[in-house]
Amino acid sequence: MPDIESLLKEKRSFKPSPEFAKQANWSRKQVAEYRKLGAKSPTRFWAKMAKENVAWFTPWKKVLDWKPPFAKWFVGAKTNVSYNCLDRHLEGPNAWRKNKAAIIWEGEPGDTRVLTYGELHKEVCRFANVLKAKGVEKGDRVCLYMPMIPELAIAMLACTRIGAPHSIVFGGFSADALRDRINDAEAKLVVTADGGYRKGAAFGLKAMVDAAVAQTPCVKSVVVVERTKQPVEIVPGRDCWWHEEMAKASTDCKPAKLDAENPLFLLYTSGTTGKPKGILHTTGGYLTQVTTTFKAIFDVKDTDVFWCTADIGWVTGHSYVVYGPLSNGATTVMYEGTPTHPGPDRWWSLIEKWGVTIFYTAPTAIRTFIRLGDEHPAKHDLSSLRLLGSVGEPINPEAWMWYHRVIGGKRCPIVDTWWQTETGGIMISALPGAVDTRPGSATLPFPGIHAEILDDKGKPVKGEGGGFLVLKQPWPGMLRGIWGDPARFKETYWSKYDKTYFAGDGAHRDKNGYFWIMGRIDDVMNVSGHRIGTMEVESALVSSPDVAEAAVVGRPDDITGTAIVAFVTPKGTTTPDEGLVGRLKQHVTKEIGAIARPSEIRFTNALPKTRSGKIMRRLLRDIASGRAVVGDTSTLEDFSVLAQLRASDED
Ligand code: PRX
């Protein structure tokens, strides 16, 4: 979490250049009008956006049906996401886009594939027919567990074409995590690959699917893309090869006319309990928000090459690698591998090679590249870039300035975009031709978005001040629920304040009305821009036979934002030594995945608790932050004295 004192001393401000402002999709004047309309009537603003930016088969009868906390947007309207992302670029005045690059893909080994809108349309229709042939019907869930290859985007769009919600599980999650997500969603079919490439080597995925699917009675079929050609087991009757099925499938598949509220996808994200939540998004509202924000915030033109570096396994990849760019008819870049393979300049070489004009990444990556040295971007011509974006965590002013100077050549506006898996699309961000930026601030809410800051008692913080970030009005891309758990949906987001969405972030507003997002205020950590629940890691740890009790906290880290520190009380018979550290890290990797692997494990004979038995997290956070490296892990820490000292103020 950036230090608020130093952040608020940040006085630098950057105006859009006159050249940028002149060509911007949304001018200052336009933005002022939209802000006015959105403030007065969010529904009128969003209805206008829905009409201008999305193609509908049937218009809506009502813009919004709001029975807090349940919203229905564009009631009665019919549309289709794959139609908006594909077909509408092949007909009428946009028909010329048929041979325009939709996806520019590059694999880590350097192999490439460019899919035009015409080709992508055919592939998507084919795969939609494969899904149908496998018995997938409207409403059935399809799980996608894949590397960053074009087939992932094809599978997503094919699901949307027939109205089968997808549930993408990031390829870094373990077999156990995959199994739990498949079972929770009751997915009927899984699409995977033999593997993918990372850090110069092939990794496997199919074996994880085999392990998971052995315990998922709902799964009837598994489709496997051949990517690495490593040997995999094909279970007859259940498994099939993507290329064999595609060769048989027709390229003719009409997009289903789907209700605006038809479920579009589920995406599991971490919360404050051990069990991840299946965030549900629906069709028309989500499409309206991602299409509109992409056009306005990324200022996209037909001549642009847009690259968002996020993995499609996260919401950023859903909204701004696939749906936002394609529904705008833009060219989107997809890169399979590690940013620093084979050398620390891989990303910069990709920008030069493909002539990327708009680049969207996360602060953790920027900080990594700062450390690697300016000489790597300097080797490449980055002059094609005209706009930069940041997402996933607060960007510290130092990283912002480096991004501006070294990558943006001081000429590119930076849009720092605040949003969440739950919000579906960007909520707070600069509009690059219309809003002055300040390093470290996400600036202002998007028109039609009613963000506010409340104090603990629920009173709005007027003018300058800090508190809890909330959203006062429903918005079209908002989550419609947690899959199978309406009680948790209400409790998590809507119970702290009345009819108000509680984001779980702290924020500060300065005297200009700009928002400075301070990070999570709940027991959720943000590690390299990925959300991981402390409870999730704790339950993974206590499932080990060696562990009696565990408490997990985040500690600030220069590169990843947060590092995971686990305090563990071993079972009486277990020796707390380096061997145990290794075993426990491995155990968490198996239970959740490498992204949740603790950086540090510290052993204690007892966890510090309040008299009522609550773990004193604040104390543990202080201890974890105060001492980064533990020498002798075989010494058990004794918190009993400290705990007694602190007990009174924690109770
Ligand atoms: O804490 C905020 C942080 O990421 C959280 C949402 O995580 P997730 O659902 O995984 O989505 C990440 C990508 C949209 C938020 O609650 N966050 C996201 N963007 C920013 C941010 N914090 C500060 N500034 C941002 N621009």
Its CATH class, for the domain covering 546-650, is alpha beta
pLDDT at 271: 84
CA of residue 277 to ligand 1 center, whole Å: 16
Q: Which mutation among 265, 323, 361, 418 tests ligand 1's pocket best, with the greatest number of atoms within 8 A of CB?
A: 418
Measured at the CA of 396, the angle between CA 394 and CA 402, to 5 degrees, comes to 125
Residue 232 is given by DSSP the state -
Please say if the pLDDT value at position 638 is more than 80.
Answer: no
Sign of CA dihedral 298, 301, 304, 306: positive
State if residue 361 touches ligand 1 by the CB under 6 angstroms criterion.
no
Please say if the pLDDT value at position 200 is more than 50.
Answer: yes
Neighbours of 638 (CB within 10 A): 12
Which of 533, 542, 563, 192 lies closest to 364 in space, CA to CA? 563
Tokens of 307: 């690259």
CA of residue 337 to ligand 1 center, whole Å: 23
For ligand 1, atom 21, the nearest C-alpha belongs to 393
Query: For the residues 219-224, what does the mean pLDDT come to?
Result: 98
3-state helix, strand, coil in the chain (%, to 5): 35, 25, 40
**φ and ψ at residue 105, rounded to 5 degrees:** -115, 140
pLDDT-derived band at 630, boundaries 50, 70, 90 = very low
State if residue 391 touches ligand 1 by the CB under 6 angstroms criterion.
yes
Query: For the residues 556-573, what does the mean pLDDT come to?
Result: 91
310 CA closest ligand 1 atom index: 13
State if residue 317 touches ligand 1 by the CB under 6 angstroms criterion.
no
Q: What is the DSSP string of 353-379?
A: HHT--EEEE-HHHHHHHHHH-THHHHT
State if residue 421 touches ligand 1 by the CB under 6 angstroms criterion.
yes
CA of residue 575 to ligand 1 center, whole Å: 39
CATH placement of domain 81-254: 3.40.50.12780
The reported pTM is: 0.94
State if residue 295 touches ligand 1 by the CB under 6 angstroms criterion.
no
Q: What is the pLDDT of residues 250-294, one digit of tens each?
A: 999 999 999 999 999 999 998 888 888 999 999 999 999 999 999
Domain residues of the chain, as ranges? 81-254, 546-650
pLDDT-derived band at 578, boundaries 50, 70, 90 = confident
Sign of CA dihedral 560, 363, 309, 536: positive
Query: Hey, which residues does 570 pair with through a beta bridge?
Result: 547
426 CA closest ligand 1 atom index: 14
Query: For the residues 580-589, what does the mean pLDDT come to?
Result: 96
Tokens of 397: 């002013």
For ligand 1, atom 13, the nearest C-alpha belongs to 392
pLDDT-derived band at 512, boundaries 50, 70, 90 = very high
pLDDT at 9: 76
Q: What is the pLDDT of residues 361-375, one digit of tens each?
A: 999 999 999 999 999
For ligand 1, atom 14, the nearest C-alpha belongs to 420
Q: Which mutation among 391, 446, 514 tests ligand 1's pocket best, with the greatest number of atoms within 8 A of CB?
A: 391
Q: What is the pLDDT of residues 604-620, one digit of tens each?
A: 888 887 767 778 888 88
For ligand 1, atom 11, the nearest C-alpha belongs to 420
pLDDT-derived band at 10, boundaries 50, 70, 90 = confident
User: What single letter denotes the amino acid at residue 149?
Assistant: I
